[in-house]
C-alpha cells in the first residue's frame, strides 16, 4: 500500500511540474494565430446553408451522428470537418462556426468563422445552379464581419486580428462535377484546359480580394481525386456495380488543375511578397489516394459511402430514413461525395507542416 501511495504522489508531482509546460506550449501556439477564417464549399461549410433557401443542407440526421451530442449542425459529414481539426491545431477554438449564425457572440466571432457554402464554386455560374452563396458573396460577408469587429474592438485591433489570422479556402470540385461535366453551358464554350484556366483566373481574383482585405496567411486546398468519389464512380464508371474502380478521366482533371493551381500560387506569392503575404498549397489529392488506392490506413470501404446505399446519396438523399453503416470510421466517405470525420482528421494532420510554414 505504501508503494502504491508513493507512486500516486510521484505521479501527482510529475503532473504538477509538467502542467505549466503544457499550458505554456498551448499558449505559445495560441499566439501564432489570432483567428481562423474559412471560405469554400461543402468541405468547409459548418452550417451556413442552414440559413439560406437551398436544397443543399445537412442539418438533419444522420449527418452529425458522431458530432458533439450527436447534433446535425449542417456539416456534410458524420462529425467534424478538417477545418475544425485545424482550428484546434492552431489553438484558436474547438469548432469553426458558420458566420450566418446570428447567435454568435463577439468573442466567438473574434477567433474566426466559416463563410463557406455547400455546392458553391469559383465559377460564378456554379452557385447559381444550387442557389447557394458565391465566393464573391463570401468576401462581402467577410467585409461585413470586419465592420462588426471594428465596432466592437476598434479598427487597429481588427486589422491586427486579420493580419495574424489563418485563411483556408476549399472549393472547385462542384465546378467540374456539377457544372462543367453535367450541364452543357460551360462545356460548349470551353475545353477542359481553358475551363481550368478560367477557374484559376477566378481563384487569383479571389486571392487578390482577400489580400486587399488584409489577409496575409492563406492556405488553398487543391482538388481531391474526383474520379474516386463514390457518386462519380456510380455515374461514370464502366464497373460501377462490380469492381467500382476510380474513373481516371475525372482524377486526371484534378491533377491538371492542382498542378496549375500550384503554379498560380507561386506567382501570387511573388506578386504579394512585399506585403509579407504567405500562400500555401494544401494537398488533399495525395492523402486521399493513399486512403483509397494505397490502403495506407485501416479503412474497409473506400468506394462506397456509409449512408444509404453509398452510391448516390448526398444532402437530402442521405436522411433519417437512410441506412447507415455501423462504424463510419471504417469508411473513407460518409455519403457518396463527402469524407467521414476520420478521413478529415487524417487529412488535417497531413496539412499541419504546410500550415506551420505560413504561420510560424
- The sign one gets for the Cα dihedral 149, 352, 246, 319 is negative
What is the model's pLDDT at position 33? 97
Judge whether 60 lies within some domain. yes
Residue 73 sits in a domain whose CATH number is 3.40.50
What is the model's pLDDT at position 18? 35
Judge whether 20 lies within some domain. no
Say how many domains are in the chain: 1
In the set 130, 335, 336, 348, the catalytic residue is 335
**125: β partners:** none
Mean pLDDT per block of 10 residues along the chain (360 residues) reads 37 33 34 92 98 98 97 98 98 98 98 98 98 98 98 98 98 97 94 98 98 98 98 94 94 98 97 95 98 90 97 97 97 98 98 96
What is the model's pLDDT at position 55? 96
**27 included as an active-site residue:** no
**335 included as an active-site residue:** yes
CA dihedral 102, 108, 109, 111 (to 10 degrees): -160
Which residue's C-alpha cell is 467540374?
176
Separation of CA 278 from chain center: 19
- Give the N- to C-terminal CA distance of the chain in Å, as an integer: 49
Judge whether 119 lies within some domain. yes
In the set 66, 130, 338, 348, the catalytic residue is 338
What is the per-residue pLDDT across 332-352, written as a single tens digit (0 to 9) for each?
A: 999 999 999 999 999 999 999
Distances (CA, A) of 93 to 30, 48, 58, 78: 10, 18, 22, 20
What is the model's pLDDT at position 356? 96
Q: Cell for 258? A: 492542382
Q: d(Cα 109, Cα 98) in Å, to the nearest integer?
A: 10
In the set 34, 41, 42, 66, the catalytic residue is 42
Judge whether 286 lies within some domain. yes
pTM above 0.85, yes or no: yes
What is the model's pLDDT at position 295? 80
- The sign one gets for the Cα dihedral 297, 298, 303, 306 is negative
Judge whether 8 lies within some domain. no
Judge whether 299 lies within some domain. no
Q: Which helix (H) or strand (E) holds 288?
A: helix 285-292
* Structural domain of 70: 35-226+248-294
**42 included as an active-site residue:** yes
Amino acid at each position: 500500500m505504501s508503494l502504491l501511495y508513493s507512486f500516486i504522489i510521484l505521479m501527482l508531482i510529475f503532473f504538477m511540474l509538467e502542467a505549466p509546460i503544457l499550458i505554456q506550449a498551448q499558449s505559445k501556439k495560441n499566439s501564432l494565430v489570432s483567428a481562423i477564417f474559412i471560405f469554400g464549399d461543402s468541405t468547409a461549410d459548418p452550417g451556413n446553408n442552414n440559413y439560406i433557401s437551398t436544397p443543399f443542407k445537412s442539418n438533419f440526421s444522420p449527418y452529425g451522428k458522431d458530432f458533439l451530442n450527436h447534433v446535425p449542425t449542417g456539416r456534410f459529414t458524420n462529425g467534424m470537418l478538417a477545418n475544425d481539426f485545424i482550428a484546434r491545431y492552431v489553438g484558436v477554438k474547438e469548432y469553426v462556426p458558420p458566420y450566418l449564425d446570428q447567435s454568435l457572440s463577439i468573442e466567438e466571432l473574434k477567433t474566426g468563422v466559416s463563410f463557406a457554402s455547400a455546392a458553391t464554386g469559383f465559377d460564378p455560374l456554379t452557385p447559381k445552379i444550387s442557389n447557394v452563396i458565391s465566393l464573391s458573396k463570401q468576401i462581402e460577408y467577410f467585409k461585413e464581419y470586419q465592420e462588426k469587429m471594428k465596432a466592437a474592438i476598434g479598427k487597429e485591433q481588427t486589422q491586427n486580428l486579420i493580419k495574424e489570422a489563418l485563411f483556408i479556402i476549399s472549393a472547385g470540385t462542384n465546378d467540374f462535377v456539377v457544372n462543367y461535366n453535367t450541364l452543357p453551358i460551360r462545356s460548349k464554350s470551353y475545353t477542359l484546359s481553358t475551363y481550368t484556366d478560367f477557374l484559376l483566373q477566378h481563384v487569383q481574383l479571389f486571392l487578390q480580394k482577400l489580400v486587399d482585405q488584409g489577409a496575409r496567411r492563406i492556405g488553398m486546398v487543391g482538388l481531391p481525386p474526383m474520379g474516386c468519389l463514390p457518386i462519380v464512380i456510380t455515374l461514370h464508371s464502366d464497373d460501377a456495380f462490380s469492381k467500382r474502380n476510380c474513373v481516371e478521366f475525372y482524377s486526371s482533371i484534378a491533377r491538371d488543375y492542382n498542378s496549375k493551381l500550384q503554379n498560380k500560387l507561386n506567382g501570387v506569392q511573388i506578386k504579394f511578397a512585399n506585403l509579407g503575404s504567405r500562400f500555401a498549397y494544401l494537398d488533399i489529392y495525395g492523402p486521399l489516394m493513399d486512403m483509397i488506392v494505397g490502403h495506407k490506413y485501416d479503412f474497409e470501404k473506400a468506394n462506397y459511402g456509409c449512408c444509404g446505399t453509398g452510391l448516390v446519396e448526398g444532402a437530402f438523399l442521405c436522411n433519417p430514413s437512410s441506412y447507415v453503416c455501423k462504424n463510419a470510421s471504417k469508411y473513407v466517405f460518409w455519403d457518396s461525395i463527402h469524407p467521414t470525420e476520420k478521413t478529415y482528421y487524417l487529412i488535417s494532420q497531413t496539412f499541419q507542416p504546410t500550415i506551420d510554414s505560413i504561420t510560424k
